[in-house]
Structure 1
Amino acid sequence: MNGAVLIRGRHVLTSATPESVTDGAVRLSAGRITHVGAYRELAARFPDDPVHGGPNDIVTPGFVNAHGHFSEALLAGMAEQYELDGWIRELIAPVAPHLRREDAYVGTLLAGIQMLRSGVTLVNDMFVCDPVGPEPVTPGVVQALDELGLRGVVAFGAGDARPGVEKAAVIREHEALEKAAAVSRLCRFRVGITVVAAQSPELFDQSVRMAVDGGHGAHIHLHEVREEAAGVRARHGLSAVEYCADRGLFDAPVLAAHCVWNSRRDLALLADHGVGVAHNPVANMVLGSGVCPLPELGALGVDVGIGVDGAASNDRQDMTEAVKTAVLLQRVHHLRASALSARDAFRMATIGGARALNMGAEVGSLEPGKAADVVVFDGESPALANVHDPVQSVVYCAGPREVKEVWVDGRPVVVGGEVTSVRTADAVARSREAAVSLVRRAGLADLSLLARV
């Protein structure tokens, strides 16, 4: 759909300057935003453009889900009793060698539908699996994102520490995903590194070369839990952040997930190298990992976005929940209502996430020339009946039920609250079969009533 449209709202929140336009509209044409301004002026100037949204709606930039794992999409609601190390050992590691391309495709459909219905237009994903089968797994992610019309930065979460994983197979998986992303309209590739400890020094150096020399950038977990930070220092004599800087990873654009347990030097290195950070409040709470130091990162000028994280550590793939939780977690941690505001979280979920991914010139705000990624929140919903402050209403009041329309690259991918390109009921039914098969293959039926039926 390349014809021009106007998207109207009582409040247009831009994540730019000006911050908002009352009784405004955004004009989309050929996949780009061409105008942002007063609805009456744009309607008079472009009388033939069809109008979407409505006089009481709230129009925003699409949310940027700065960190997630489609590899966990079939594992929601399992293994809540573990902290991170036990969770990896008892759930993620047993599943990793059994993930297939079909699981990647179906899981991405399932999680992607939830993301779209919560206003996500760009997801930064790391698919974690052990590439031990005959067929590459991760291209299934790109296939599903293209079908959904959801923009993606895709990475394979690579590691060679587990038995049976060969470095050559890891590189082949990277290459297969890079090739799939290269022919996608909406996806681009990054080099994935699960954690420093998951890679041999040889594989890490090869990952650095791919990220830097290949111009791809990298997606990595850093300092999610204290044990990770201590373990890397014991092995290498450096923190994980210091190790990445020392080995040259930060010479490429890097998105680091979590960054909870940091020294002052770690924080300074992140800032000095322009590393973007993805804050994952719900997953950090579920796994008992800790609280990201947002005030310190902000004071140093580090770009921070918000991530939903994977369905095995968050469970719900709901960006509106993550955005609200980001505010609440900081406030209860610091015992101060001013620790993080709704405006802070809204910007993190939009332009902050885009900048953390080095994509701030392309997405994340409603400005002429940027990609036409737009969300319309339903002003006729009971939750948004009385909008005293539109930013607070989006952050604290809105949920997936309030997401009326989502546009990605100028195309409507959610209309009337439903995705337009796939049948949700079919994706749900197909995912049940895939989940049962995956859990049984992994030997985890004792954790799943579904797999014992």
Structure 2
Amino acid sequence: MSDVIGQARGRAGEFLVRGAFVLTMAGLPGPGSRDRAPGVRLDGVIADGAVHVRDGAIAAVGPFAELATARPGVPVHGDGTGVVLPGLVSTHTHLSEALATGMGSELSLFEWGAEIVGPLGTVLTRADAAEGTALRAVEMLLSGVTTVNDMFCHANIGSRASLGVVDGLVRAGLRGVVSYGAEDTMAPGAENPERAAEIIEDVVAEQRELAAAAAGAPLLQFRYGIGTLLGQSDPLLERGVALCREHGWAVHTHLAEVREEVTMARLRWGHRTVEHAHRLGYLERPLIAGHCVWLTEADIALLVAHGVAVAHNPVANMILGSGVCPVPRLRAAGLAVGIGTDGAASNDSQDMLQAVKAAALLQKVHHRDALVIDALDVLAMATIDGARALGLDHLVGSLEPGKRADLVLLQDTVDIAVLHDPIGQVVYGASPRSVRDVWVDGRQVVADHACVTVDERAQIGRCRPLAARLAAAAGLVAAGHATAPPARTP
């Protein structure tokens, strides 16, 4: 169990979290600032520090001795050997892929979409989504994620499958932003004009229902989702802009992920997808775009002019051979760039710490320059810049009084035992083994290295038959992408 000192005398909803170092991520210059040379540390690292949490909010951050003296009898989590940091913000994933890991790693993005996630999306249900989300929530929490930005992609028209993400996230206690990444051009029957119109109305209805469901969950927000611009018909794209203007909705989509996208957009519309999003009016809305690998300088200028945020997904981009996002260029231009794991079928993991390390290493090897990005840069992308990208930096992303108490304690393992440079050790050395305790909005959701909101073993047991059923129903077993589970003897 957690190290809790004086718990019997502590007040409900009030505690301290102590570490050898507290990484506040506060006071960092925003994207585009030239105030910090690579490798230069800023204030915000507190040795033998603590965070005082009261009623779900951060009340104070400072030296442990001062906070403990000021609040005698308050419970203390942590023995002073670990690292305390803000909860990590995963700015892009697809929980629609929660039960579809380990397939198609030799496929390009377009092949992978057509052969794996496309068929999967035709059979997903709300119950599948809820159980899969709860499963992956355990993985996210155990890698320090406290906020996730999800896009649920499916083509099971009428199922309202995306609403299952709300069910799963509420159960797990995660903070999140939810969206339905609708694509109507490949939906069954879309070639028939009457059916195509019905599909659009169903998509609109599900967007409205997902928005309402998120509004009823205190830790969740909604964004209008567009799976890809190419995957939507022109009528749906135009309808979506009108809806966003009517309701004031922010947007979550993919942009410039692969070369084929750029080529097909030029063939269809005569210009690239960033330009088309601009012409339609989507860049007028607060927008976060996944990937942004194949950008021109004109594309970047449009993104900067409209304050578009970018979700960088290094592991998925490498697995699918999509290319390398120009992260240093985008950050220098002033764009908020966060880090995402991407979906569990394009990454095969929701391990955010792995994605953080990969974000640093990919840029270094691509540019052949160890100074092109540093540990503080990528930790900022995973915390405060990710929060900025989602418009949540007034709530989370850094450890500052008044913000919500989303925080992580790394402790107890060899991964975090040696702390010559705590920021570098977190980025390059920490693993989910190190995640001892996690709080979301002041509620403890991981204690002593175990998720306490979702029973991990029981959830695995529930999800195994669901994964097998989905793979068979989607034709993935017949196509050779998945192996039927072996018969189990009693």
TM-score by length of 1: 0.98
Amino acid in the other structure paired with 1:393: Q
Could you tell me how far apart the structure 1 residues matched to 2:246 and 2:209 are?
18
Q: CA deviation at 1:452?
A: 6.2
Amino acid in the other structure paired with 2:15: V
> Does structure 1 conserve the Cα–Cα contact (< 8 Å) formed by 2:291 and 2:312?
yes
Equivalent in the alignment of 1:340: 373
| Percentage of pairs with the same residue | 46
Q: 3-state DSSP class of the match of 2:115?
A: helix
The reply on whether 1:310 has 2:343 as its aligned counterpart is yes
The reply on whether 1:15 has 2:15 as its aligned counterpart is no
Any unmatched runs of 5+ in structure 2?
1-10, 28-42, 191-198
Equivalent in the alignment of 1:138: 162
Equivalent in the alignment of 2:281: 248
Q: 3-state DSSP class of the match of 1:76?
A: coil
The reply on whether 1:42 has 2:80 as its aligned counterpart is no
Could you tell me how far apart the structure 2 residues matched to 1:452 and 1:127 are?
30
The reply on whether 1:118 has 2:143 as its aligned counterpart is yes
Any unmatched runs of 5+ in structure 1?
none
1:282-326 Cα shifts (integer Å, max 9, x gaps):
000000000000111011100000000001100011000000000
CA RMSD of aligned residues (A): 1.2
The reply on whether 1:149 has 2:181 as its aligned counterpart is no
Range 142-151 or range 232-241, more displaced? 232-241
Amino acid in the other structure paired with 1:34: A
Amino acid in the other structure paired with 2:19: G
The reply on whether 1:69 has 2:94 as its aligned counterpart is yes
The reply on whether 1:291 has 2:291 as its aligned counterpart is no
Could you tell me how far apart the structure 1 residues matched to 2:214 and 2:163 are?
8
Q: 3-state DSSP class of the match of 1:98?
A: coil
> Does structure 2 conserve the Cα–Cα contact (< 8 Å) formed by 1:440 and 1:451?
no
Could you tell me how far apart the structure 2 residues matched to 1:271 and 1:452 are?
52
Equivalent in the alignment of 1:409: 441
Q: CA deviation at 1:339?
A: 1.6
Query: Match for 1:278 among 291, 295, 311?
Result: 311
Equivalent in the alignment of 2:257: 224
Range 96-105 or range 440-449, more displaced? 440-449
Equivalent in the alignment of 1:85: 110
Query: Match for 1:53 among 43, 65, 78?
Result: 78
Q: 3-state DSSP class of the match of 1:360?
A: coil
Could you list the runs of 4 or more consecutive aligned residues of structure 1 that deviate by over 6 angstroms after TM superposition?
Answer: none
Query: Match for 2:13 among 3, 17, 31?
Result: 3
1:369-410 Cα shifts (integer Å, max 9, x gaps):
1111000001x3112211000000100110000000000000
Equivalent in the alignment of 1:352: 385
Q: 3-state DSSP class of the match of 1:54?
A: coil
Q: CA deviation at 1:209?
A: 2.2
The reply on whether 1:427 has 2:437 as its aligned counterpart is no
> Does structure 2 conserve the Cα–Cα contact (< 8 Å) formed by 1:405 and 1:412?
yes
> Does structure 2 conserve the Cα–Cα contact (< 8 Å) formed by 1:13 and 1:61?
yes
Alignment of 1:202-241 (within 5 A): 202-241=235-274
> Does structure 1 conserve the Cα–Cα contact (< 8 Å) formed by 2:155 and 2:187?
no
Equivalent in the alignment of 2:34: none
Q: 3-state DSSP class of the match of 1:197?
A: coil
Could you tell me how far apart the structure 2 residues matched to 1:348 and 1:438 are?
35
> Does structure 2 conserve the Cα–Cα contact (< 8 Å) formed by 1:2 and 1:410?
no
Equivalent in the alignment of 1:389: 421
Amino acid in the other structure paired with 2:231: A
Amino acid in the other structure paired with 1:384: I
Q: 3-state DSSP class of the match of 2:122?
A: helix
Cα distance, 1:450–1:371 mapped onto 2, change above 3 Å = farther
Cα distance, 1:385–1:163 mapped onto 2, change above 3 Å = closer
Q: 3-state DSSP class of the match of 1:388?
A: coil
Could you tell me how far apart the structure 1 residues matched to 2:369 and 2:456 are?
41
Query: Match for 2:204 among 166, 171, 185?
Result: 171
Bigger radius of gyration:
2
The reply on whether 1:161 has 2:195 as its aligned counterpart is no
TM-score by length of 2: 0.90
Q: CA deviation at 1:450?
A: 3.8
Query: Match for 2:298 among 252, 265, 269?
Result: 265
Cα distance, 1:121–1:2 mapped onto 2, change above 3 Å = farther
Could you tell me how far apart the structure 1 residues matched to 2:145 and 2:245 are?
28
1:54-91 Cα shifts (integer Å, max 9, x gaps):
21110000000000000001111111120101000110
Could you tell me how far apart the structure 2 residues matched to 1:183 and 1:99 are?
23
Could you tell me how far apart the structure 2 residues matched to 1:61 and 1:221 are?
27
Q: 3-state DSSP class of the match of 1:28?
A: strand
Could you tell me how far apart the structure 1 residues matched to 2:374 and 2:117 are?
34
